Amino acid sequence: MKTVEQKPKYHLNEEQEKKLIVREYRSLLRALKDKIKPGDKSILRQAFELAAEAHKTMRRKSGEPYILHPIAVAKICVEEIGLGVTSSVAALLHDTVEDTEITLQDIERDFGPEISKLVDGLTKISNVIDVNASKQAENFKKILLTLTDDPRVILIKLADRLNNMRTLESMKRENQLKISSETVYVFAPLAHRLGLYTIKTELEDLSMKYLEPDTYREIAKRLAETKRDRTKYINEFIKPIKEKLEKNNFKFEIQGRSKNIHSIWNKMKKKEVTFEEVYDLFAIRIILDSPPEKEKEECWKVYSLITDEYTPSIERLRDWVSTPKANGYEALHTTVMGPRGKWVEVQIRTKRMNEIAEKGLAAHWKYKEGTNMENRFDKWFQQIREALYHQDTDSVNFLQDFKTSFLTEEIYVYTPRGDIKMLPVGATALDFAFSIHTAVGSRTIGAKVNHKLVPISHKLKSGDQIEILTSNKQAPSEDWLSFVVTAKAKAKVKEALKEEKRKVSDEGKYTLQRKMEGIGASMQQENLDELVKFYKLNSNLDLYYQIAIKNIDLKELKEFKVIGDRIEFPKPIKVVNENKIESHGAAIHPTKQKDAELIIFGESSDQIMYHLANCCKPIPGDSVFGFITTGKGLTIHRTNCPNAARLMSNYGHRIVKTKWAKNKEISFLTGIKLVGIDDVGMVSKITNLISSELKINISALTIEANEGVFEGNIKVYVHDKEELDNLVNRLKALNGVESVDRYDMEDIPA
């Protein structure tokens, strides 16, 4: 992010820039005012001057001096996360080792080992990376290694990411997509897991701003339009509660707010509802000023007062006061039916709980004495340590496993003795067994959950009590990997399978050796690499194993040329235009400028072949990106494809910026789902509108009615998104049609 923008978006002269930099630095000192001890000012000044000098020739994409970024990161650390002077110094220096002549030895000499270690953890990895691994995943793995030694590293890293997201507007479109996907895929869940809810929601909203710009703007517009009504409603809702709390002599403050944009969008997708129908658009927070010994009692008293006034939804009660979340979060949540038939979420917490909710991990040190919160984080870090030291070499798989194991919501389950165990949502009885001990997990044949016999793949729920059944004859099998979710269980199963594979593979190795000697070639590594590549495998071990189990019979060896003791597979000669890449599908035309977009459906010369992804069925007008698929060329996905975040986060280097060219001659298959009131002539009205009025070709249509409600699935051929949007709006306008949605699922229903 250090290259100079061709046309800077802002214009300040040198004198104005100097004043701006000093003003921002002084703002950081003011934020640290209560935390500065004697001697701290000189260390901060030294770090600021060193960073300013080191970055003096660098500019951000917006054109502003680069030093404003580390200052902004330090301010986020102090004001929004609650860190102190040491973290601020590390934040000021966090890019110096990677981007300038300054070394870690210089940092350690001038600032000591603690700050040097933090800067080392924050320094991005070098460019020499395993080509099979994602740079992002590899980088993230390195960060996590430091996280377990000093959690401040990840907190500063989150501040760095938040500032980058806030200033993402100046970046190129493909970088915006990649960084936003990585943010929503890993960093927002990580912020959530560390208890930084405010930062988590801002990261989600900012990511959505670039990944789903149209939807983001639409929801933001709706929120702005309804702000006055919402404020009026919140005041109406709060009034009787406020009176009850005052009457019962509680010291409190009440905050009312609407849900964030990303959260509203998720609800709309998940529940398949419109903006107006979002279940609990409003959230009220009651913060009590309670002494520590009365916190729990007073939270429940307030809950009682609220539910006396408004009817609660029983299934929406969440008690994180009795059992706090793993990240220390404590609160009572309930959803109640407010005036005018609107659902409102109410959060009840104390001042201490609120600070932990706002500052998460950083606040944990302030309150850890006399609580078990330190123990919770320590357990989590220990689990991460185990995952890091026992994981295989595939960084992309590691990142996916880490996300599943450590960044999801957690459940609490019990051993037969009543000890509590924390596992991610979706964990199975087998995950529980491995969490007790590797030896127990490896020998598990079944389990009893709440005294009932269940299979090892049984998914656990919070509050379950589990007893594991084992047998000495049991051993891990390949199908276990399809249902275990924790990193520890996956790593241990893979370890056991690899050991078993190694034993079987010895026979395959011996077979290969005989065949190679038969054609006059040796077992040198270059030859093995050639065979692994030819059979499209991942390693020598896979090659030996496939030979041993007779999946490969090596008859192709006779087609290889033997040069000395080396083998080489003869490659067919193919003449291709130098601007042309072969694949399957339709054609796209790349423009000639550097970093230009690939234009889908351009002229017929210099074509690159591509195909449209089946998982999201893009059509012209959709926001799309190209993904280079191994062996299949370029695949075009929508930026809101269910797989987009994973692809862009894990394989950013294979993303190609892509846009549509106007072409009204080609039609695309897409699907729409309708729900409405079953009435006579409804099918006729729908088909007449699509075929006769709009002249759109219907590929397939199914409509099923049940108890007065119909649900229809229609496949249609459209030229572009504009035509599809017009169709959706016209269908919505039909009398009796309640909702019309485009399919986002993997493959349109038949």
Helix (H) or strand (E) holding 52: helix 40-54
Provide the β-strand partners of residue 394.
Answer: none
Segment 129-132 long-range contacts (CB within 8 Å, at least 24 positions apart): 130/393, 130/395, 132/394
Query: Taken in order 190, 195, 196, 197, is the CA torsion positive or negative?
Result: positive
CA distances from 623 to 174, 183, 281, 749 (A): 11, 19, 28, 23
> Exactly one of 17, 24, 99, 106 is catalytic; which is it?
99
Strands 737-742 and 697-706: unpaired
3-state secondary structure of 721: helix
For the chain, how big is the Rg over CA atoms in Å? 30
- Contact between 146 and 153 under an 8 Å Cβ cutoff? The reply is yes
Catalytic: 99? yes
List of residues 6+ apart from 622 with CB closer than 8 A: 638, 639, 660, 721
- Contact between 89 and 130 under an 8 Å Cβ cutoff? The reply is no
Report the greatest alpha carbon distance in the chain.
95
Name residue 267's amino acid.
K
Query: Taken in order 334, 340, 342, 344, is the CA torsion positive or negative?
Result: negative
- Contact between 184 and 225 under an 8 Å Cβ cutoff? The reply is no
Strands 655-660 and 444-449: unpaired
Burial 211-232 (b: 16+ CB within 10 A, else e): bbeebbeebeebbeeeeeebee
Catalytic: 98? yes
Distance CA 207, CA 261 (A): 11
The number of beta carbons lying within 10 Å of the beta carbon of residue 633 is 18
- Contact between 160 and 187 under an 8 Å Cβ cutoff? The reply is no
List of residues 6+ apart from 263 with CB closer than 8 A: 201, 204
CA distances from 217 to 205, 725, 727 (A): 11, 17, 22
3-state secondary structure of 176: helix
Distance CA 385, CA 403 (A): 14
- Contact between 490 and 401 under an 8 Å Cβ cutoff? The reply is yes
- 490 token code pair: 């996956």
- 279 token code pair: 């279940």
CA distances from 408 to 9, 24, 281, 307 (A): 39, 37, 23, 30
Phi and psi angles of residue 134, each rounded to the nearest 5 degrees, phi first: -75, 135
The number of beta carbons lying within 10 Å of the beta carbon of residue 244 is 16
Distance CA 733, CA 711 (A): 16
Among residues 286, 279, 342, 276, which one has the least CA distance to residue 311? 342
- 465 token code pair: 């009590």
List of residues 6+ apart from 587 with CB closer than 8 A: 601, 602, 604, 607, 608, 609, 610
Among residues 212, 211, 191, which one has the least CA distance to residue 203? 191
Distance CA 209, CA 281 (A): 19
Phi and psi angles of residue 45, each rounded to the nearest 5 degrees, phi first: -60, -45
Strands 697-706 and 668-677: unpaired
List of residues 6+ apart from 306 with CB closer than 8 A: 241, 286, 312, 334, 336, 346, 348
Residues annotated as part of the active site: 98-99
